[in-house]
Amino acid sequence: MDLILIRELTARCIIGLRPEERGEKQDVIVSLALSTDLSRAGESDLLDDSIDYRAIKKQVLALMEQSQFHLLEALAEAIAGTCLETARIHEVRVTVDKPGALRFARSVAVEIVRRRLSQ
């Protein structure tokens, strides 16, 4: 499989367990690796043979900005589900970073990989 990478997509959302985390939106950074077959698009040079990564970006940003998850894991799972709604995406790797979540660490991150279920 080939990959389309969306790196360091930044949005603000409610995320966290503590009351002080839930009162104000925080920065969250998401990176995606979308597995698909790009050979046809490489030959045709047509968007219809690829994945519209601008549309994926808009969907993920909308989800992030409206979300109010407690855990990064839950946000990552929701993002993966959104990506897998696109038929041409066979697998997605989602990395969610929360900058400043831990003292003395630049960020805390979770990374998950989800595959489309066989149909």
**pLDDT tens figures, 59-94:** 999 999 999 999 999 999 999 999 999 999 999 999
* pTM summary value: 0.93
Distinct helix (H) and strand (E) counts, the chain: 4, 5
User: Which are the contacts of 7, defined by CB distance < 8 A and separation ≥ 6?
Assistant: 31
- DSSP for 51-103, written as a single string: --HHHHHHHHHHHHHH-EES-HHHHHHHHHHHHHTSTT--EEEEEEEEETSST
Q: Are 57 and 9 in contact (CB under 8 A)?
A: yes
Catalytic residues, by residue number, are 98
Q: What is the mean pLDDT of the chain?
A: 94
> What pLDDT score does 84 carry?
97
Domains of the chain from N-terminus onward: 2-115 (3.30.1130.10)
pLDDT at 81: 97
8 A C-beta contact, residue 20 and residue 109? no
Residues 23-68 pLDDT 10s: 999 999 999 999 999 999 999 999 999 999 999 999 999 999 999 9
The maximal CA–CA distance of the chain, rounded, in angstroms, is: 52
Banded pLDDT at 117 (limits 50, 70, 90): confident
